[in-house]
Amino acid sequence: MIREARYDEIVRGGYGAASLSLESRPRTRSGAMGSSRVSVVVLVGVGIVAAIASVSQGQDKPKPGFKDTPMLPGNKWHVHDSDRPHPPVVTPGTFSTEEQPGRPPSDAIILFDGKDLSQWTDHKGDPARWIVKDGAFAIRPGSGIIRTRQEFGDCQLHLEFATPTPPRGHDQGRGNSGVLLFERYEIQVLDNFNNPTYADGHAGAVYGQHPPLVNACREPGRWQSYDILFTAPRFSADGTVETPAYVTVLHNGVLVQNHTKILGPMAYRTLARYTPHGPKGRLALQDHGNPIRFRNIWIRELKEQP
C-alpha cells in the first residue's frame, strides 16, 4: 500500500502538480528562473528521484498484484492477479509515408520487405512470377494468384497497395485484386476513387457479403494500407461450423469492417457457404488482370490471451 501511495503521489499529486505549476510560471528576462524557484525545482527533483528509487526497489519484493480479489469469469485469474503472465515485450514499428514504407513491429513475420518474393509461390507451389521493382511488386496479369509458403491461423495482417494510374476500366474492372485469407475469405482490393460499383464488391468489402462502413480510398497511384485482424472459423469434427470467421479492417487507418461475421468463402453471384478446413491456411493475393502494386507486407500470428 505504501508503494501505491507514493506512485499516486508522483503521478497525480504533489510532485507532478508542483512541476507543472513551475513550468507555467513566467521566466525572468534572461530566460532563467529566479534563485528561489531554482531551489524549489531542485527540491522537487530530489523528491522525485527518491520516490522513483523507492518504487524500483519495491519491484524486487513480491510481484505486483493481488490474490485476494474476485475471480474473473471464464478463466483461472483473480482481478489484478499477481501470477497472471505478463505480456511479451514487442518493439512497435513505424508508420509509412507515401515515399517510405514503415518498419514492422519486432515480432512480425515479414512477407515482403521490398526485396524479393521468396515468401510466396504461385498456385502450384512454383516460385511467384509477379514483378518486383523499386521496393514493391506488381501483379503480372494473367499469371494467377500468389500465396504464402507459410500458413497462418488467427492473425494481424498489414499490407500496402497502389492501384494503377492512370486508371483504366470501370466498376469491378478498375484496380481489382483481393486479399484472400486461407486462400478463400476475400477482403476486396479495388480502385473506388470516383468509381462506383455494387456495395458488397467495394474496396474494403468482405466480397459479396459486407460493404465497408465508408469509402476511404485514396487516388490511383497513391499508397494505401489495409490492417486486418482475422479470426479463423472453427469447425467441429463432423464438419459443421462451430464459430464463423470474423474480420476487422482498417483502410488507410479508417475502420471499414468492425468484427464482421464472415458467411463463407468469396463467392460471385451466389451465397457463400463454408467448407471445413484446418486451423491454418495460406494468405493469397488475387490476380484480377489489373497491375496493382504491393509493398510492406507483414503478419503477426495471434494467440489466445493467457
**If you search the block for the grid coordinates 499469371, which residue do you land on?**
143
In the complex, the smallest distance separating the C-beta of residue 266 from Mg ion, rounded to whole angstroms, is 8
In the complex, the smallest distance separating the C-beta of residue 52 from Mg ion, rounded to whole angstroms, is 54
Q: Indicate if the alpha-carbon torsion angle 292, 220, 200, 185 is positive or negative.
A: positive
Q: Of 188 and 257, which CB lies nearer to Mg ion in the complex structure? A: 188
**Minimal CA–CA distance to 300: which of 287, 285, 283, 286?**
283
In the complex, the smallest distance separating the C-beta of residue 268 from Mg ion, rounded to whole angstroms, is 10
Q: Of 119 and 177, which CB lies nearer to Mg ion in the complex structure? A: 177
Q: Give whole-number Cα distances, 89 to 92, 106, 125, 302, in Å.
A: 9, 9, 35, 14
Q: Give whole-number Cα distances, 223 to 108, 226, 249, 254, in Å.
A: 21, 10, 17, 14
- Cβ atoms of residues 80 and 69 within 8 Å: yes
Q: Of 231 and 286, which CB lies nearer to Mg ion in the complex structure? A: 286
In the complex, the smallest distance separating the C-beta of residue 100 from Mg ion, rounded to whole angstroms, is 27
Q: Which residue in the shown chain puts its C-beta closest to Mg ion? A: 178
Q: Of 188 and 209, which CB lies nearer to Mg ion in the complex structure? A: 188
Q: Of 108 and 187, which CB lies nearer to Mg ion in the complex structure? A: 187
User: How many Å is the maximal CA-CA distance in the chain?
Assistant: 81
In the complex, the smallest distance separating the C-beta of residue 265 from Mg ion, rounded to whole angstroms, is 13
Contacts with Mg ion, residue ranges (CB under 5 A): 176, 178, 188, 286
